[in-house]
Amino acid sequence: MTTTVLGYPRIGPRRELKRALESYWAADIDAAELDTVAARLRGATWRTLREAGVEHIPSNTFSYYDHVLDTAVMFDLVAPRFARIAEGDDDRSAELRRYFAMARGCDEAAPLRMTKWFDTNYHHLVPELSPATRPRLAGRKPLSEYVQARGLGYETRPVLLGPLTLLLLSEGSPDAPRGWRPLELLDGLLDCYAELLGELASAGAGWVQLDEPILATDAGQEVLRELGDAYERLGGVAQRPRILVAVYHGPAGEGALETLKRTPIEGVALDLVRGNAEDVSKVGGLGAKSLVAGVVDGRNVWRADIPAALSTLASLLGLAGEVVVGTSCPLLHVPYDLEVETGLDPSVRDRLAFARQKLDEVVLLGRALAGAEDVEEQLAGARQRSSERAPRAFTDQRVRARLEALGQAPARPSYRQRERARAPLPPLPTTTIGSFPQTGEIRAARAAHRAGRITTQEYEREMRAEIDRVIALQEDIGLDVLVHGEPERNDMVQYFAERLDGFAVTDHGWVQSYGSRCVRPPILYGDVARPAPMTVEWTTYAQSRTDRPVKGMLTGPVTMLAWSFVRTDQPLAETARQVALALRDEISDLERAGIRHIQVDEAALRELLPLRGRDHAAYTAWAVGAFRLATSGATAGTRIHSHMCYSEFSAIAPVIDALDADVTSIEAARSQASPAADLAGAGFDRGIGPGVYDIHSPRVPTVAEIEQALRAALEHTEPERLWVNPDCGLKTRGYAEVEPALRAMVEAARRIRAELAG
């Protein structure tokens, strides 16, 4: 019985990579220094795994920005606009310049599109391919990381993104013929994988791991023939390491495992946390192949139920050539180490395991199955814990009783009736999605407050001064519906978690979201209740500074769950209703304080949509139910806004419609599709605000460009229903870009209004 993990966090236990990247981008350090930090982080990871006693150590789990981008670059799957960047220069900094241009854009080229990695809060870049793309083995990152590890005395298993997942996550470039699919490049790409496998074998690698999480989705289901052919072919490479194919973020789809069993690969890794019942029953027939049994949850932070995992493992023995204890997926989505979280309540802390603790769980399971005697004491402790119930303090009978009494909350009056009850707005009203730039001063003030260097009064005075500035600026720009700018929020989820019972937050539990950006997902461990209003003071303060309406800003129930680590002892639907109830009370308090626009962000609505179509209806029911529970207490005179991030809306257009929000703003500018068209197609007839310019790029848009985006939206939407707003995420930008861009946006709206009036 041996042990492994599929991957490990890479941002650094103290976000060393974040700091190094941002210093490099600011030209404070050079490429050599950046590479040194990276090499040190990789070495520290391998050492941690070795010291924990993990036997099979992965490598190439590191990335400067994103592993999908790394793989695309390695195989030269690079859109032509990037080939010209730093052309002719072949040194390391030119290479990095091209790489970061694809990730973040530069003066010469817009970046690749970014989208969510499966149903996680991690974002990957989307390679842009066309029939002219010629895959070739252009880089050797897995090889050089393997060699680095070897030099340090670690024998590792390089991890590569598999060919099916790589191509199915890619998109056709705008100049590719309609209907052309990146999968058509599979043949040529497999030659490159084969070449790489040969080189890894020559360097001494005994195993490689090919990640194919796409096999847990409906898209993976449609390519089983290609899957079989691909791994038949890679299996036939003359000199190669043994191949482990990893399927995770859900059970392997029907037929996927059967197909893999027929190929000459040597092992499969399965997610036995999310796919437990389904996959365990399908394991038979692996023959001599190895099975990495992913029984330790890589997506959540609860301690493993060791007795249950042991019984799963025991049921697998004999069904495969070898059963290896592993994690359900790479540990990229959990924080590094619980050890440093000294601020957590012990009754919560005792129930948690972060990445470092998960290594101990994997090792304990491996030793227990191998019959080691010195683990008896640990096993007894684990048995004791798994029989214990959650402390009574985690339950709130009042919340439970209120929810029961509420049942399905009554619907609001119809949209038409609501509109009649409201103060009129000009056609094409202008607004923003909530945040304004989180400046260095704001973050420094918060850090100083946390450290006790400034008092709460001083901190709040600074935040109010910031709100004054943001309100004055919006009035000057001429926006119609203002926001307070969210300066007091460290994060749109963590801020609320800090103010709700039932949530805990960490000091150092950072998880990569994209590139150098990280979040500290809160831990939802018990019944959720709102001890006091959370946003009313800030919002009413902002409203007191202007005669224009100020829009209150809340984070919705689905997003609160999606971006937290959530209890698993009750259905998500029930937990979502508890969050919704707290928001319902907040909305009622905001209304009482005179706020007439309230936005409930459901940024993660698309992200939590299950990977398999068969699970969509159940999700829609609880997601919509929770949003309506949160918002249906609002009077007809209050406009409820909502906001969703990212494109590919056709799949959830009916869900957005069912939320019954008065205005829905959607991040749109960086996608090729039109959310206005998708929503119109779903019969949506309320307010809609497609993002009219891409805030992810420092480029300031012209008035003409924005006008054009608005005219395109007007083809699907009447002017009374069209709202004018940028994409979300102003908090990540600076005023130098935000101010001129918003001025251009308001001017574009004015021109169209004048035209409509004339």
Ligand X SMILES: Nc1nc2c(c(=O)[nH]1)N[C@@H](CNc1ccc(C(=O)N[C@@H](CCC(=O)N[C@@H](CCC(=O)N[C@@H](CCC(=O)O)C(=O)O)C(=O)O)C(=O)O)cc1)CN2
Residues at the site binding ligand X, with contacts judged by CB under 6 A: 121, 438, 443-444, 446-447, 490-493, 513, 517-520, 563, 645, 732
Q: In angstroms, what is the minimal distance from the CB of 501 to ligand MET?
A: 23
Q: Is 688 annotated as a binding residue?
A: no
The token pair that represents 35 in the structure block: 């590479």
Please tell me whether residue 603 binds ligand MET under the rule CB under 6 A.
yes
Q: In angstroms, what is the minimal distance from the CB of 37 to ligand MET?
A: 28
The token pair that represents 182 in the structure block: 């990146």
Q: Which long-range contacts (CB under 8 A, 24 or more apart) does 19-26 make?
A: 21/64, 21/65, 21/515, 21/516, 22/516, 24/96, 25/100, 25/104
Site for Zn ion in 644-673 (CB under 5 A): 645
Q: In angstroms, what is the minimal distance from the CB of 603 to ligand X?
A: 6
Q: Rounded to an integer, what distance in angstroms lies between the CA atom of residue 485 and that of residue 518?
A: 20
Interface stretch with ligand MET, choices 167-175, 194-202, 726-734, 746-754 (CB under 6 A): 726-734
- Selection from ligand MET, Zn ion, ligand X, none that 686 binds (CB < 5 to 8 A by kind) is none
Which residue in the set 37, 85, 645, 661 belongs to the binding site for ligand MET (CB under 6 A)? Answer: 645
Please tell me whether residue 470 binds ligand MET under the rule CB under 6 A.
no
The token pair that represents 139 in the structure block: 């880089």
67 is catalytic: no
Catalytic residue among 67, 124, 484, 696: 696
Q: Is 433 annotated as a binding residue?
A: yes
Phi, psi of 100, deg, nearest 5: -70, -25
Q: Rounded to an integer, what distance in angstroms lies between the CA atom of residue 495 and that of residue 450?
A: 14
Q: In angstroms, what is the minimal distance from the CB of 731 to ligand MET?
A: 5
Please tell me whether residue 166 binds Zn ion under the rule CB under 5 A.
no
Instruction: Name which of 287, 298, 288, 291 is nearest 313 in CA terms.
Output: 291
The whole-angstrom distance between residue 40's C-alpha and the CA centroid of its chain comes to 26
Sort 287 into a burial class: Cβ within 10 Å, 0-12 / 13-18 / 19+.
exposed
Q: In angstroms, what is the minimal distance from the CB of 450 to ligand X?
A: 8
Which residue in the set 189, 208, 695, 728 belongs to the binding site for Zn ion (CB under 5 A)? Answer: 728
Q: In angstroms, what is the minimal distance from the CB of 463 to ligand MET?
A: 16
C-beta separation of 203 from 147 below 8 A:
yes
- 345 three-state secondary structure: coil
Q: Which residues contact 702 (CB under 8 A, 6 or more apart)?
A: 744
- Between 306 and 433, name the residue whose CB sits nearer to ligand MET: 433
Nearest 5°: CA angle at 634, between 632 and 638? 130
Interface stretch with ligand MET, choices 78-86, 213-221, 333-341, 724-732 (CB under 6 A): 724-732
Q: Rounded to an integer, what distance in angstroms lies between the CA atom of residue 364 and that of residue 380?
A: 12
- Selection from Zn ion, ligand X, ligand MET, none that 597 binds (CB < 5 to 8 A by kind) is none
Q: Rounded to an integer, what distance in angstroms lies between the CA atom of residue 407 and that of residue 516?
A: 43
Question: Hey, what amino acid is at 529?
Answer: A
Q: Which residues contact 528 (CB under 8 A, 6 or more apart)?
A: 396, 399, 500, 501, 502, 503, 575, 578, 579, 581, 582
Which residue in the set 221, 431, 435, 642 belongs to the binding site for ligand MET (CB under 6 A)? Answer: 435
Q: Is 449 annotated as a binding residue?
A: no
C-beta separation of 322 from 2 below 8 A:
yes
- Selection from ligand X, Zn ion, ligand MET, none that 434 binds (CB < 5 to 8 A by kind) is ligand MET
Please tell me whether residue 487 binds ligand MET under the rule CB under 6 A.
no
Please tell me whether residue 601 binds ligand MET under the rule CB under 6 A.
yes
* First-residue to last-residue Cα distance in the chain: 78
Interface stretch with ligand MET, choices 272-280, 427-435, 458-466, 745-753 (CB under 6 A): 427-435
Q: Is 728 annotated as a binding residue?
A: yes
Phi, psi of 407, deg, nearest 5: 55, -140
Q: Which residues contact 544 (CB under 8 A, 6 or more apart)?
A: none
Q: In angstroms, what is the minimal distance from the CB of 738 to ligand MET?
A: 12
**Which residue of the chain is nearest ligand MET when measured via CB?**
434
Q: In angstroms, what is the minimal distance from the CB of 133 to Zn ion?
A: 31
Q: Is 121 annotated as a binding residue?
A: yes
Q: Is 731 annotated as a binding residue?
A: no
- Selection from ligand MET, ligand X, Zn ion, none that 447 binds (CB < 5 to 8 A by kind) is ligand X
Q: Rounded to an integer, what distance in angstroms lies between the CA atom of residue 466 and that of residue 610?
A: 40
- Between 540 and 564, name the residue whose CB sits nearer to ligand X: 564
Q: Rounded to an integer, what distance in angstroms lies between the CA atom of residue 725 and that of residue 742?
A: 9
Q: Rounded to an integer, what distance in angstroms lies between the CA atom of residue 755 and that of residue 427?
A: 11
Q: In angstroms, what is the minimal distance from the CB of 207 to Zn ion?
A: 40
**Which residue of the chain is nearest Zn ion when measured via CB?**
728
Helix and strand tally (H, E) in the chain? Answer: 29, 22
Sort 199 into a burial class: Cβ within 10 Å, 0-12 / 13-18 / 19+.
middle
Q: Rounded to an integer, what distance in angstroms lies between the CA atom of residue 25 and that of residue 33?
A: 12
Size of the site for ligand MET (CB under 6 A): 12
- Selection from Zn ion, ligand X, ligand MET, none that 553 binds (CB < 5 to 8 A by kind) is ligand MET
Site for ligand MET in 668-707 (CB under 6 A): none
- Between 34 and 659, name the residue whose CB sits nearer to ligand MET: 659
Interface stretch with ligand MET, choices 66-74, 283-291, 432-440, 703-711 (CB under 6 A): 432-440
Q: Which residues are annotated as a binding site for L-methionine?
A: 433-435, 486, 601
Catalytic residues: 696
Chain contacts with Zn ion (rule: CB under 5 A)? 603, 645, 728
Q: Which residues are annotated as a binding site for L-homocysteine?
A: 433-435, 486, 601
Chain contacts with ligand MET (rule: CB under 6 A)? 433-435, 492, 553, 601, 603, 643, 645, 728-729, 731
Q: Which residues are annotated as a binding site for 5-methyltetrahydropteroyltri-L-glutamate?
A: 15-18, 116, 121, 517-518, 563, 607
